[in-house]
């Protein structure tokens, strides 16, 4: 005989309560003050895998073993019924379900606890739904992983939540290094245009495209990208974050630069005060048509500076013509610079314009001007003074509008003293003189130049970033580089070839640099060879049962460094 709970609504008896909850697919039971089950609805029977006659009269603690109560019920004897507030799994006869129990006390007319109404909630459908969502999310991430376009996502706070394999390849970052960090880690500045576009997309849900974006890669360089920014919505349509897709345009820009010969100050790195002073002067002089004389040792970047001055000046859309005065024989130099007319000499079958005519309206760059023959210096002086000249064999002058930038690794003033260079021409060329310092005089720029050269010689899309050992870097930072920047680039290219795919070690450097290191550090220890380093990592991983954290600790290196070395040595763990 089922006992009816007391103090319930007069019009709704226990069976009716249970039936109402049945219609809502909610399991419900009536328990008396002796903790015996007195009634249960069909949903509760299904959830517990028990028939009503099997459960009625039993102590609820036997039936609910492992199904904790979400509240505490006090019975008339004052004993407390404790419940664990976390959900637990109850095994029924046919399946395993995730159930939680909610109990509310029932009082009699005197306000005493007469029992409780217990409700069972089945979380299994919710768990299934979560599993399906997780599966769909994993499937989506698998698709994103295999796209040949860089993708990363952020939450509404702007922190990175996902980075695909192509994005790792382009940026040089491993996802563990960037996940959870602000997206500003991928951009050069906190207030960059790209970040603003991403924030705006998250704010209003509209997609934005940036054809000239920039992203900062792992070695600190910024690379040009074409990027799209869009908002991410959840199933309710609310914005929960943002997604960015980007293509690396480095090769496109290099090709465009090679075709157009347009350069900027990003192509000439220098944080040293002497270089900053030169950049400021170059910006000012670029806006004028004054002749510029650039002096500096071989390999200091005189030709790049000349291209920058042309590219940022008002003649940037006009030709930039380079003449190497030391590379052409004296007999051909005049005809190359000023051209000739048909019949001027044997073999002159047609008119040929010279370099000055080709540079009309633009800039002519006279490299190694100190090697210009004296016989030709007078004709060049006329061009600078009168803006015209006579092609070889012609009786009619040709007028040109040309800006002259000259460069030499020989001091022109010293050549003037030795009467090897015309004094009047020197003063015409020396309206603005820029002296580029030797690399040994601006050693603070060496790390930046190494970084730039490494980015050019081994871009991220060609494989994992190559690092330089401390011993090799110490040699590179302390060498004087008589060949300046050009020599530094050649040294790095040599080391990358000899070192193949591993780190650049000191014994990968050219022989003369190894001799320099031996003379500088006579008692320096020899760096481990790559094979020995690989075996050392394998041994540490074996000892630590494949645990990378413990292996890195035993090897006295960061976990990220160990990961990069494992990737380089193709160690799977």
Are the CB atoms for 466 and 172 separated by under 8 Å?
A: no
* pLDDT band with cut points at 50, 70 and 90 for residue 465: low
CA atoms of 535 and 506, how far apart (whole Å) = 20
More confident residue, 94 or 519: 519
Q: Residue 263 pLDDT more than 70?
A: no
**Mean pLDDT in residue range 107-127:** 73
**Mean pLDDT in residue range 184-191:** 70
pLDDT of residue 145: 77
And the tokens for 262?
């347009």
Q: Residue 405 pLDDT more than 90?
A: yes
* pLDDT band with cut points at 50, 70 and 90 for residue 127: low
Are the CB atoms for 194 and 212 separated by under 8 Å?
A: no
What percentage of the chain reaches a pLDDT higher than 90? 17
Range of lowest pLDDT (17-31, 244-258, 419-433): 244-258
pLDDT of residue 211: 81
pLDDT tens digits along 528-561: 556 667 778 888 887 887 788 888 888 877 777 7
CA atoms of 167 and 217, how far apart (whole Å) = 10
Token match 């996940």: residue? Answer: 179
Q: Which residues pair with 89 in a beta bridge?
A: 98
pLDDT of residue 93: 37
Around Cβ 445, how many Cβ atoms within 10 Å? Answer: 19
Which of the 8 DSSP states describes residue 68? Answer: -
* pLDDT band with cut points at 50, 70 and 90 for residue 260: low
Tell me the CATH architecture of domain 14-122: 2-Layer Sandwich (3.30)
Tell me the CATH architecture of domain 441-526: Orthogonal Bundle (1.10)
* pLDDT band with cut points at 50, 70 and 90 for residue 463: low
* pLDDT band with cut points at 50, 70 and 90 for residue 72: very low
CA atoms of 305 and 282, how far apart (whole Å) = 8
Backbone angle region of 296, left / alpha / beta, with phi > 0 → left and psi within -120 to 50 → alpha: left
Would you tell me which CATH number, out of the four given (3.90.1150.10, 3.20.20.70, 3.40.50.10420, 3.40.50.300), belongs to the domain 268-437? 3.40.50.300
What percentage of the chain reaches a pLDDT higher than 70? 80
Q: Residue 428 pLDDT more than 80?
A: yes
pLDDT of residue 89: 37
Q: Top-level CATH class of 528-573?
A: mainly alpha
Domains 14-122 and 136-253 share a fold: yes
Strongest mean pLDDT among 13-17, 86-90, 169-173, 425-429 = 425-429
Q: How far apart are the first and last CA of the chain?
A: 66
* pLDDT band with cut points at 50, 70 and 90 for residue 129: low
pLDDT of residue 262: 60
pLDDT tens digits along 3-43: 444 444 433 455 677 777 777 778 888 888 888 888 888 88
> How far lies 235's CA from each of 2, 89, 123, 156, 195, in Å?
46, 29, 20, 16, 26
pLDDT of residue 181: 85
Average pLDDT, the chain: 79
More confident residue, 291 or 61: 291
Secondary-structure breakdown of the chain: helix, strand, coil percentages, each rounded to the nearest 5: 45, 20, 35
Around Cβ 496, how many Cβ atoms within 10 Å? Answer: 17
Range of lowest pLDDT (182-196, 359-373, 440-454): 182-196
Range of lowest pLDDT (13-27, 262-276, 351-365): 13-27
Around Cβ 531, how many Cβ atoms within 10 Å? Answer: 10
Are the CB atoms for 120 and 90 separated by under 8 Å?
A: no
Token match 């170059």: residue? Answer: 282
What is the CATH number assigned to the segment(s) 136-253? 3.30.450.20
Strongest mean pLDDT among 140-154, 209-223, 300-314 = 300-314
**Mean pLDDT in residue range 505-525:** 77
CA atoms of 357 and 370, how far apart (whole Å) = 22
pLDDT tens digits along 322-344: 999 888 887 788 888 888 888 77
- Annotated domain spans of the chain: 14-122, 136-253, 268-437, 441-526, 528-573
pLDDT of residue 131: 59
């Amino acid at each position: 005989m089922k006992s009816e709970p007391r103090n319930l609504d007069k019009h709704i008896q226990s069976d009716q309560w249970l039936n109402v909850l049945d219609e809502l697919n909610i399991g419900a039971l009536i328990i008396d003050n002796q903790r015996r089950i007195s009634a249960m609805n069909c949903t509760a029977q299904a959830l517990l895998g028990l028939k009503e006659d099997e459960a009625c009269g039993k102590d609820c603690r036997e039936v609910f073993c492992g199904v904790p109560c979400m509240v505490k019920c006090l019975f008339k004897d004052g004993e407390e019924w404790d419940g664990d507030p976390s959900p637990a799994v109850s095994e029924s006869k046919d399946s395993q379900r995730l159930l939680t129990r909610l109990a509310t006390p029932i009082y009699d007319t005197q306000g005493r606890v007469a029992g409780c109404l217990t409700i069972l909630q089945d979380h299994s459908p919710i768990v299934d739904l979560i599993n399906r969502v997780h599966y769909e999310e994993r499937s989506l991430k698998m698709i994103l992983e295999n796209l040949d376009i860089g993708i990363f996502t952020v939450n509404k706070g702007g922190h990175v939540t996902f980075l695909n394999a192509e994005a790792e390849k382009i940026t040089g970052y491993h996802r563990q290094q960037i996940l959870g960090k602000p997206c500003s880690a991928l951009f050069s500045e906190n207030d960059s245009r790209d970040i603003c576009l991403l924030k705006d997309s998250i704010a209003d849900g509209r997609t934005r495209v940036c054809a000239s974006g920039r992203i900062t890669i792992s070695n600190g360089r910024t690379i040009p990208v074409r990027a799209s920014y869009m908002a991410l919505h959840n199933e309710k349509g609310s914005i929960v974050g943002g997604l960015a897709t980007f293509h690396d345009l480095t090769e496109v820009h290099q090709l465009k630069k090679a075709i157009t010969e347009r350069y900027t100050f990003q192509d000439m790195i220098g944080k040293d005060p002497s270089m900053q002073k030169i950049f400021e002067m170059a910006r000012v002089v670029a806006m004028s048509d004054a002749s510029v004389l650039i002096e500096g040792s071989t390999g200091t970047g005189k030709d790049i500076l000349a291209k920058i001055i042309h590219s940022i000046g008002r003649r940037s859309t006009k030709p930039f013509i380079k003449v190497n005065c030391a590379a052409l024989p004296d007999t051909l130099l005049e005809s190359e610079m000023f051209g000739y007319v048909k019949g001027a000499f044997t073999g002159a079958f047609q008119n040929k314009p010279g370099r000055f005519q080709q540079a009309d309206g633009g800039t002519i760059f006279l490299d190694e001007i100190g090697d210009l023959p004296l016989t030709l210096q007078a004709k060049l002086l006329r061009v600078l003074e009168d803006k015209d000249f006579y092609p070889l064999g012609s009786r009619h002058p040709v007028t040109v509008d040309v800006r002259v930038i000259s460069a030499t690794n020989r001091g022109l003033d010293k050549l003037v003293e030795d009467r090897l260079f015309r004094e009047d021409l020197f003063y015409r060329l020396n309206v603005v003189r820029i002296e580029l310092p030797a690399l040994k005089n601006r050693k603070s720029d060496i790390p930046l130049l190494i970084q730039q050269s490494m980015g050019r010689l081994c871009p991220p899309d060609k494989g994992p970033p190559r690092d330089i050992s401390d011993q090799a870097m110490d040699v590179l930072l302390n060498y004087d580089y008589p060949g300046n920047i050009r020599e530094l680039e050649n040294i790095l290219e040599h080391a990358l070839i000899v070192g193949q795919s591993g780190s650049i070690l000191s014994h990968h450097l050219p022989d003369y640099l190894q001799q320099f290191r031996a003379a500088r550090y006579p008692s320096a220890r020899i760096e481990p060879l790559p094979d020995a380093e690989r075996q050392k990592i394998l041994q540490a991983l074996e000892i630590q049962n494949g645990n990378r954290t413990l292996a890195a600790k035993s090897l006295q290196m960061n976990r990220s460094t160990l990961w990069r070395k494992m990737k380089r040595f193709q160690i799977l763990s």
